[in-house]
Amino acid sequence: MEKRERLLLLHRVLQGRRKLMRHILACDPQLDNLLLASSQELRLHYHLSETFAGKLFRALQDAFHRYAIEQAVQNFHTVTCFDADYPAVLQAIPDAPLVLYAAGKLELLDQMPAVSVVGSRQPTHAAPGKIAYLLEPLASAGWTIVSGMAKGIDSMAHHAALRVHGSTIAVLGSGLHHIYPLSNKKLFDTMAESQLLISEYYPDQPPRKHHFPERNRIISALGFCTVVVEAKKQSGSMHTVMHALEQGREVFAIPGDPLKAQTAGCHQMISEGAGIIFEPGQLLEEWEQNKTNWAHYNSRN
């Protein structure tokens, strides 16, 4: 078993627990000892408790996990931190995903410019018009639209790209065998065929509440900037903004009706220094001013 397959197995066995995986990788960067060591040797190599080392040993030897990994590799693209083609835009961020599963056109991960789009799951009636006005010209101009395929703004962003035959990436909060929400099945199927779906969760891992704030750091990382269309205060969109700023990405917000709760988060961000976005030309100009700083991300293309 190659080192990347050992990593995929560890990722599945540990259910994607990144902190623990990083600890094990720090002790054994190539995972050379993972499948050769006894329970006692795992405990010593990786500084684990005796009880956990025993559980880990048994899980690593479980044929079901190995079979599941073989099936995942056959059915989906798999990208690991060991791979030469691991996306450069993710390598430099804090807490980069160690494993990604993908369906669709993997090359979209290296396509720039890309814009990350987030917003409320309960958007206002004005939201579709805002998204069409802002995103359709960008997608027509070759930009990739990145979002999370949640209800509301996320789904609208993906549909905006599809309407003009553009490119779009969905970062999921569940494994690729789980369509969430189910109302997005048609969108999921379309994107699996002609666009890109990615997840850091193994394929049969169901959605969990904590997955969605976790995946937000990947959404923000894949765009050269993040645009918040509509957001309440203290919403998931605000978490994405936090990640974007931590990653050194620009953040823009669309202003809206001051009487609507869905735009209160946007107004708060603007008051705290986020850029105000009124029309797509602003992002086109922003990219022209900053694209040389992103040239190394496209060096493989």
Size of the chain, expressed as the number of residues it contains: 301
Domain tally, the chain: 2
pLDDT (0 to 100) of residue 298: 52
Please indicate, yes or no, if residue 80 is contained in any of the structural domains: no
Compute the distance between CA of residue 212 and CA of residue 221 in angstroms, rounded to an integer: 15
Cα→Cα distances 74→141, 179, 212, Å: 34, 19, 26
Residue 84 counted as domain residue: no
190: left (phi over 0), alpha (psi -120 to 50) or beta: alpha
pLDDT of residue 297: 60
| pTM, entire model | 0.94
State the DSSP code for 255.
Answer: -
Q: Mean pLDDT across the chain, nearest whole number?
A: 93
| C-alpha separations of 37 from 53, 66, 110, 150, 152 in Å | 10, 17, 38, 42, 49
Q: Is 33 exposed, middle or buried (0-12, 13-18, 19+ CB in 10 A)?
A: middle
| List of the chain residues with pLDDT < 70 | 295-301
In a domain, 82, yes or no: no
Start-to-end C-alpha separation, the chain: 30
In a domain, 290, yes or no: yes
Last residue of a domain, one of 13, 42, 75: 75
- Which pLDDT score, from 0 to 100, does residue 300 have? 47
Q: In whole angstroms, give the CA distance from residue 10 to residue 13.
A: 5
Parent domain of 263:
91-298
What is the structure's pLDDT at 114?
A: 96
φ, ψ of residue 103 to 5 degrees: the values are -130, 135
Query: Is 263 domain-assigned?
Result: yes
- Dihedral of CA 62/63/64/70: which sign? positive
Q: What share of the chain is helix, strand, coil (3-state, %, to 5)?
A: 50, 15, 35
